[in-house]
Amino acid sequence: MTVRRANAFDLHVPAPRARPGDKPDFSDWSFPEPGDTPRPEVDAPAAELRDFAYGLIRVLDLGGSAQGPWAPRLGADALRRAMKSMLLTRAFDERMHRAQRQGKTSFYMQCQGEEAISIAQATALAPDDMCFPSYRQQGILIARGYPLVDMMHQIYSNRLDPMKGRQLPVMYSSKKYGFFTISGNLATQVPQAVGWAMASAYSGDGRIAAAWLGEGSTAEGDFHAAMTFAGVYRAPVIVNVVNNQWAISSFQGIAGGENTTFAARGVGYGVPALRVDGNDFLAVYAVTQWAAERARSNLGPTLIEHFTYRAGPHSTSDDPARYRPADEARAWPLGDPIERLKAHLVGLGEWSEEQHRIAQEEAIEIVRAAGRDAEKVGVLGVEGAHEIGSMFEDVYKDMPWHLKRQREEAGA
């Protein structure tokens, strides 16, 4: 006979390590040392790669020295270029965040602390590989040389906004730069990337796809759909989970992070999964290169968990001081991605404090110049930026009668 015990259960609601007023303390966390993780062959069977989902691939030690078999062979020029892209991204974010505060636009999202992920991955992928980003991968566009002023036109929804004022700021789209139109519905882009990769495999053109989502949105069914289809059809796709610890105010435990790693999600689908220090430019570059080579060799998908920290607010509509310690970002045990690459370059004798300062100033000046140009065209709310009639265009390829009628009604 079954004996039921009253009050036997304790509904577990995960809670983060620290809340406002608490002292952030990561001293009990331990990570594999840089250089300690072996680098498997790209054609290793998924079943032999399971441990990578639970470890952490690191190349740069906190002093900036590159260690071990994952250390990529990247020339100093490429590293300096990447550094400049990261500085440009940070300067862009700072200016656009401020522009929102000044009332020039409705909304902005920074990627502070996560710059290495977009920039290292854009560096490792081919320029025509197809990216299905979430809203925090502006670094891809910047690394690929998309004009900053066009990003600003989009953020200001002005007359020259390539999206014609239809999208929330930062929801960029550029087919020319291999950057899929960003959706505000989370994780929808991931199974789409898988479909794109399946089409690429069907057409045989050698291009691969990559998708990004946050750890929070791995809870969406779309992520399960993506992983299932990617595994089943061995699609040439890289699925990147950017684990920045926070989904707006919900810490990663609310998405299941207390129980296992996000990389471990891949194990159940038979998809190789690598977990990497997302603040380590060289490690991110190396794992992306590994996954890209694997995909290009017709060996199918890879899941990468980028372990990082969202140093800024979720968006301009968010105030993280209400749910996490204000100095948690500074306490993050894996540092800041720009500072770490800087230390590496300086250690190599390929960079200096002076060069860094000049590069920062140049980045700020490039952004300032683009900002002046964009603001000359207009900021959000300038009347007449878009013809009323443009609202009815692109709903369909050809405008059906009912939209023509509504366009007339709107006085266009």
> Which chain residues interact with other proteins by CB under 8 A?
130, 132, 162-164, 166-167, 171, 173-175, 180-181, 183, 185, 188, 190-200, 202-203, 209, 221-222, 224-226, 228-229, 232, 394-397, 400-402
Closest CB 234 distance from other proteins, rounded Å: 12
Closest CB 134 distance from other proteins, rounded Å: 14
Based on CB atoms, which residue is closest to other proteins, 53 or 190? 190
The single-letter DSSP state of residue 187 is T
Based on CB atoms, which residue is closest to other proteins, 88 or 271? 271
Closest CB 189 distance from other proteins, rounded Å: 8
Based on CB atoms, which residue is closest to other proteins, 376 or 405? 405
Query: Contacts by 158-167 with C-beta closer than 8 Å and gap 24+?
Result: 158/374, 158/377, 158/378, 158/379, 158/380, 158/382, 158/385, 159/377, 159/378, 159/382, 159/385, 159/386, 160/377, 161/385, 161/386, 164/386, 164/390, 164/393, 164/394, 165/385, 165/386, 165/390
Closest CB 319 distance from other proteins, rounded Å: 27
Based on CB atoms, which residue is closest to other proteins, 157 or 261? 157
Closest CB 245 distance from other proteins, rounded Å: 26
Query: Which residues, in sequence order, are bridge partners of residue 46?
Result: none
What's at 247, amino acid-wise? A
B/e letters for 229-239, b = 16+ CB within 10 Å, e = fewer, are: bbbebbbbbbb
Q: What sign for the dihedral angle of Cα 162, 217, 270, 36?
A: positive
Based on CB atoms, which residue is closest to other proteins, 331 or 403? 403
Closest CB 198 distance from other proteins, rounded Å: 6
Closest CB 229 distance from other proteins, rounded Å: 5
Based on CB atoms, which residue is closest to other proteins, 330 or 404? 404
B/e letters for 150-179, b = 16+ CB within 10 Å, e = fewer, are: bbbbbbbbbebbebbbebbbbbbebeebbb
Based on CB atoms, which residue is closest to other proteins, 157 or 244? 157
Q: Is 222 helix (H, G, I), strand (E, B) or coil?
A: helix
Separation CA 144–CA 287 (nearest Å): 19
Separation CA 17–CA 63 (nearest Å): 27
Taking a C-beta distance cutoff of 8 angstroms, is the pair 153, 117 a contact?
A: no
Closest CB 214 distance from other proteins, rounded Å: 17
Q: Is 305 helix (H, G, I), strand (E, B) or coil?
A: strand
Based on CB atoms, which residue is closest to other proteins, 110 or 167? 167
Measured in degrees and rounded to the nearest 5, phi and psi for residue 238 equal -115, 120
Q: Which two tokens stand for residue 114?
A: 């996560």
Residue for token pair 């290495």: 116
What is the rounded radius of gyration, in angstroms, for the C-alpha atoms of the chain? 22
Closest CB 400 distance from other proteins, rounded Å: 4
Q: Which two tokens stand for residue 110?
A: 């920074």
Based on CB atoms, which residue is closest to other proteins, 114 or 161? 161
Closest CB 191 distance from other proteins, rounded Å: 3
Based on CB atoms, which residue is closest to other proteins, 237 or 286? 237
Measured in degrees and rounded to the nearest 5, phi and psi for residue 155 equal -65, -35
